[in-house]
Chain A
């Protein structure tokens, strides 16, 4: 815990993202953006983490009236994804959905997709003023999050426990595929795609369960894990080391999941108070090619060890957002604090 720095920022943080660094350079990310919620005027702020210890500066940003005005209209900042700062500003005034809150935004240069409580999926392009494509009534319930699967495909999760796959090449308002949880329709709040294997997707829901899906095969989740005791707000695969997964939740915890296929190490679960694993053991497609079978889908539970570690000291207030890049992890909470960990063991 000693390498975690906390800073109180006088605003409840709803989203937090690193500014991406080019993968060729080995440097650590040093700038991140935060969005606040539940304030009378919410704002997006940029922070930099200096090389020497922990000097942070609130750079600017309140200066963009268009952004502020939009956000005041929409209320809380619920979606935030940065490629570079300039683009983000460009995009802000595109925020859609009349008065219906927009809940998620994802960017895959140059396309941007937003989803909202009105059940719409809207496609933008950075260099276009207008809306490229709107899917009305994409969902009858609220869409909570969205992620790109491939260049033309996005995956959304809704408050009825469903994942929907949309293909922008197809006309019409029908999803290409629907996957759903069996039993209780637990709302799903977040979704993230495996950075290398596009068919592997992780979701987190209201009951704090972490689900791993294989969108090629099954309409049911591949495995379910009890991760948190309350809503899971975000799930992220580590971008360069996808055996690591990070989740944060309303219960105030942030978990680091490590998946190792090495069968020599003894199986143990560390740190997790309520971490139990219920893996639906499914037959793995027999294929000698190691690179094709991800460790996340390694069905043989005796060989897969999933280790969950609590990343934050005990706390009570919800952790709303996290982002991880390289060895650096940031998270923002309702306790108006930002935690920065610059030495994540990955």
Chain B
């Protein structure tokens, strides 16, 4: 630790003069917040106008590009598919699958690149076009590296086959030859076309012998005099031995044949068969692998790795993977001597040729501003069991570290966060912790989104997060006075405390309005009622009202009493319950039995005793009421003009008086009912 691989890049923030001002900053998950501070450097008295902005500094802009979003989405599918292979196929021989997955990744990169190219061409905005152009060149490099890694690490071809793959690699990334060839062939006279020889030589440099020979045939038919020379070249080109790893040919056999062919080329050169045809001689020199001739083709080769592959093709066709890096280093030195030095891409490729996977990943991480590439490549290589030896000083391992970084970046995006979940899932050590921390911070604008986030948490048994999300939603609903909605959220979260709070609100609402809201919900609570005591009470109390409404008085009375005796009802609500009992006591038929009436009385006394204890220092309120006054009130109430819970009552009397009156009325009603019940029960017994 401590050493820095490359010097940090300086980012200038527009609008802030860093020479004059001091900057404060705070880290975000994928970005940085910077702001100007008020700190004064010594003596500088004039603070001047401070910059009123907070700047968000983002390292990764690509995530916000609509075209690159497709890359993230499509590769997500491939990534998930790759993780499934591990589970489904236990056999060791999974190489073909890994190769096809690697190819899938690359085709996604290519598709993305093509779209970016089109966008760059069609846009009129020059800055946008440059931006697209830059992204294309990054993707090109990424694809180039990926392809090489696929050839060297995943395919891991043995000597002989290795070169074929490398040739394919070079051909794929130097496709401008085909465009040029198309142009030449479509012209009126291909042979006269100025790019004709260019195309032929490029074909030869890429080892595309048949195509080169076909091109040459056209020239031969135009120059009857030179037929012999062209014929000879045609033979040389078509006869070049090609190693096919699947065939019957052994490596030694191939070596012998190749040497013969090589000698033949040399002989042709020495006896001057092509002496009068400069272009054919050039081709022949390439065929014998003459280094100076090859180096002279710098323009056509354009890169040192093309030079390397061509050189291997004509000098060392059965190069072993272990020898590769000698040639690579040498080719690079030879090719780049004129220029200043290797660029990041060059050193990454060189590291790949040296089979130093970790160096490749490290250099890529430094050179690219996005974790997409390294995370996916590392994951794939890890599946191929190529990364076991390396341990980090931090985190768990390289694969997981990179995946976590990539996924955290995705999580900062307003929409791509959903993809990140699957990446976290496949990080065995810290994935879950990361997910837990990130998922709680997803802004929940709609219930739709909340339901989706909840499902993610529930699938992973993240009880803590489920509770917090439901609580957020319940709070939100409560703020909008959507009690029903709030209640259903807290039921989903099994959050007893919050359910109690909401139940209180329902009861308060009942007390002030005399009616329940959200009946559809409360009537259908079912077993959810048992979540909290208060909710049970709410449900049961509503049930009482329903029974009362349906004139099932006996059942209602029983329920009402049990609410108090079983201590389901909160004590401060008893008075309301007892008041609710009043009309039942006043029915013509006897509803409360004598025993039930005793129970009611006991409840009332308990309540008044409590109250008396509380008001011990105050004069007893009940005593202030004269018997006559109580009687008057009684008449009024019986006439139906009073609603004891209603607001009109409170306007007439002081609060204490209401309480006292209620108690008096209750006592009276209870006594009358008791008398009636005793009489009635007595009569039945006789």
B488: A residues at CB distance < 8 A = 141, 159-160, 185, 187
B residues in contact with A78, CB < 8 Å: 446, 448
CA–CA, A16 and B537, complex, Å: 45
Q: Report Cα–Cα, A317/B415, bound state, in Å.
A: 13
Measured between alpha carbons, how far is A206 from B452 in the docked complex, in Å? Answer: 10
Q: Is residue A11 within 8 Å, beta carbon to beta carbon, of the partner chain?
A: yes
> Is B521 in contact with chain A by the CB < 8 A criterion?
yes
Cβ-neighbour of A142 out of B69, B74, B447 (below 8 A): B447
Residues of the B chain whose Cβ atoms lie less than 8 Å from the Cβ of A161:
524
- On whether the beta carbons of B520 and A160 are closer than 8 Å, the reply is yes
B459 within 8 A of A: yes
Write out the residue numbers on chain B whose beta carbons fall within 8 Å of the beta carbon of A103: 446-448
A159-B447 CB under 8 A given contacts A8-B70, A8-B74, A250-B455: yes
Q: Interface 1/0s, chain A 122-135, versus B by CB < 8 A?
A: 00000000000000
Which residues of A are found within 8 Å of B520, using beta-carbon distances?
139-140, 160, 162, 164, 178
Binds B, one of A26-34, A107-115, A261-269, A334-342: A334-342
Tell me whether A140 and B415 are in contact in the complex, defined as CB-CB below 8 angstroms, given that A185-B528, A335-B76 are known contacts. Answer: no
Contacts of A336 in B (CB 8 A): 69-70, 73, 415
- Residue pair A118, B69 in contact (C-beta under 8 Å): no
Check B445–A75 contact: CB distance below 8 A: yes
A119 at the interface (CB under 8 A from B): yes
CB pair A180–B517 under 8 Å, yes or no, is: no
In the bound complex, how far is the Cα of B520 from the Cα of A162, in angstroms?
9
Does A183 touch B at the CB level, under 8 Å?
yes
Q: How does the 8 Å CB contact mask read for B273-293 relative to A, with 1 for contact and 0 for none? A: 000000000000000000000
Map CB proximity to A onto B503-526 as digits: 1 under 8 Å, 0 otherwise. Answer: 000000000000001111100101
Known: A39-B414, A76-B449, A162-B520. A119 touches B73 (CB 8 A): no
> In the complex, which residues of chain A have a beta carbon less than 8 angstroms from the beta carbon of B73?
8, 10, 335-337
Q: Say if the beta carbon of A117 comes within 8 Å of chain B.
A: yes
Taking CB atoms and an 8 Å cut-off, the chain B residues in 590-621 that contact chain A are: none
A315 at the interface (CB under 8 A from B): yes
Residue A282 is within 8 A (CB to CB) of chain B in the complex:
no
A4 contacts partner chain B, Cβ-Cβ < 8 Å: no
A residues less than 8 Å from B485 (CB atoms): 117, 119, 140-142, 159
Interface flag for A100 (CB, 8 Å): yes
Contact mask for chain A residues 225-254; partner B; CB cutoff 8 A; 1 contact, 0 none? 000001100000000000000000010000
| Residues of A with C-beta under 8 A to B80 | 316
Instruction: Report if A296 contacts B (CB, 8 A).
Output: no
A117 to B450, CA, bound (A): 12
Q: Is B533's CB within 8 Å of the partner chain A?
A: no
Is A37 in the interface zone, CB < 8 Å from B? yes
- What 0/1 readout, one digit per residue, does chain B (577-592) give for beta carbons within 8 Å of chain A? 0000000000000000
Asked if residues A140 and B482 are in contact (CB atoms below 8 Å), the reply is yes
Contact digits for A1-33, partner B, Cβ 8 Å, 1 yes 0 no = 000000011111010000000000000000000
CA distance A160 to B526 in the complex (A): 11
> Is B653 on the interface with A (CB-CB < 8 A)?
no
Residue B159 is within 8 A (CB to CB) of chain A in the complex: no
Q: A231 and B484: CB pair below 8 A?
A: no
Q: Is the CB of B524 within 8 A of A75?
A: no
B415, chain A: closest CB distance, angstroms:
5
Q: List residues of chain A with CB within 8 A of the CB of B67.
A: 10
A100 with B76: in contact, given A8-B70, A39-B415, A140-B520 (CB under 8 Å)? no
Quick check: is A326 within 8 A (CB to CB) of the other chain?
A: no
Answer yes or no: B359 CB below 8 A from chain A CBs. Answer: no
Contact (Cβ within 8 A) B524 A12: no
Is A118's CB under 8 angstroms from B480's CB? yes
Q: Does A318 contact B (CB under 8 A)?
A: yes
B-side contacts of A75, CB under 8 Å? 445-446
Are B484 and A10 within 8 A (Cβ)? no
Hey, what's the 0/1 contact readout for A200-237 against B, CB within 8 Å counting as 1? 00000010000000000000000000000011000000
Contact A183 B455 (CB under 8 A): no
Q: Mark B441-477, 1 if CB is under 8 A from A, else 0.
A: 0000111110110010001000000000000000000
Query: B408-431, CB under 8 A of A: which get 1 and which 0?
Result: 000000110011001000000000
- Of the residues A8, A101, A231, contact of B445 by C-beta under 8 Å: A101
A40: interface (CB < 8 Å): yes
The listed residue with most B CB atoms (<10 A of its CB), out of A78, A137, A162, A317, is A317
B: number of interface residues (CB 8 Å): 40
- Given A141-B484, A162-B524, also A334-B448 (CB < 8 A): no
- At the interface, yes or no: B66 with Cβ under 8 Å from chain A? yes
Q: Is B455 in contact with A101, judged by CB distance below 8 angstroms? A: no
**Beta-carbon contact of B418 and A137 below 8 Å:** no
Chain B residue nearest to A14 (CB atoms) is: B448
Contact (Cβ within 8 A) B70 A316: no
Assess whether B455 is in contact with A230, with CB atoms less than 8 Å apart.
Answer: yes
A39 to B459, CA, bound (A): 24
Of residues 338 to 388 in B, which have CB atoms within 8 Å of A's CB atoms? none
The answer to whether B74 touches A40 (Cβ under 8 A) is no
Indicate if A64 sits at the interface (CB-CB under 8 A): no
Q: How far is the CA of A37 from the CA of B520 in the complex (A)?
A: 31
A38 cross-chain contacts in B, Cβ below 8 A: 414-415, 449
User: Shortest Cβ distance from B108 into chain A, in angstroms?
Assistant: 9
B452 touches A250 (CB 8 A): yes
State whether B447 touches A231 (Cβ < 8 A): no
Report B-chain residues with C-beta under 8 Å of the C-beta of A180: 524
- What 1/0 flags go to A174-207 for Cβ under 8 Å of B? 0000101001110101000000000000000010
User: In angstroms, how far is the closest chain A Cβ from the Cβ of B105?
Assistant: 15
Q: Is the CB of B524 within 8 A of A231?
A: no
Closest Cβ neighbor of A7 among chain B residues: B70
Nearest A residue to B68, CB-CB: A10
Min CB distance B657 to A, Å, is 36
Q: Is the CB of B517 within 8 A of A317?
A: no
Q: Look across to chain B and name the residue whose beta carbon is closest to the beta carbon of A317.
A: B418
Asked if B418 and A141 sit within 8 Å, CB to CB, the answer is no
Q: Is the CB of B66 within 8 A of A118?
A: no
Complex contacts, B70 vs chain A, CB 8 Å? 8-10, 336
Minimum CB–CB distance for B506 against chain A, Å: 10
Q: How far is the CB of A341 from chain B (nearest CB, A)?
A: 18
A185 touches B524 (CB 8 A): yes
**One of B422, B447, B487, B519 near A101 (C-beta < 8 A):** B447
Q: Which of B447, B459, B480 contacts A230 (CB 8 A)?
A: B459
Residues of A within 8 A of B527 (CB): 183-184
Find the A residue at minimum CB distance from B523: A178
Q: Beyond A206-B451, A315-B77, A316-B422, is A40–B414 a contact (Cβ under 8 Å)?
A: yes
List the B side residues contacting A317 at CB < 8 Å.
Answer: 76, 418-419
**Are A231's CB and B449's CB within 8 A?**
no
Q: Is the C-beta of B660 less than 8 angstroms from some C-beta in chain A? A: no
Residues of A within 8 Å of B446, CB to CB, are: 75-76, 78, 101, 103, 117
The answer to whether A119 and B415 have CB atoms under 8 Å apart is no
Taking the complex as formed, is B213 at the interface, i.e. its CB lies under 8 A from any CB of chain A?
A: no
Q: How far is the CA of A254 from the CA of B136 in the complex (A)?
A: 35
Chain A residue numbers with a CB within 8 Å of B414 are 38-40
Residues of A within 8 A of B (CB): 8-12, 14, 37-40, 75-76, 78, 100-101, 103, 117-119, 137, 139-142, 159-162, 164, 178, 180, 183-185, 187, 189, 206, 230-231, 250, 315-318, 334-337
List 15 A-B pairs, Cβ < 8 Å: A12-B415, A37-B449, A76-B445, A100-B480, A101-B447, A140-B483, A140-B485, A140-B520, A141-B484, A160-B520, A185-B526, A315-B77, A335-B77, A336-B73, A337-B73
* The 8 residue pairs across chains A and B that have the minimum distance between CB atoms: A140-B484, A140-B518, A8-B70, A10-B66, A10-B69, A140-B521, A101-B446, A75-B445
Where the two chains meet, the residues of B that have a C-beta atom closer than 8 Å to any C-beta of A are 66-67, 69-70, 73-74, 76-77, 80, 414-415, 418-419, 422, 445-449, 451-452, 455, 459, 480, 482-485, 487-488, 491, 517-521, 524, 526-528
Q: A141-B488, A317-B419 are in contact. List 15 more A-B contacts (CB 8 A).
A: A11-B415, A39-B414, A75-B446, A76-B449, A101-B448, A117-B482, A140-B518, A141-B485, A159-B447, A160-B524, A183-B527, A187-B451, A231-B455, A250-B455, A335-B419
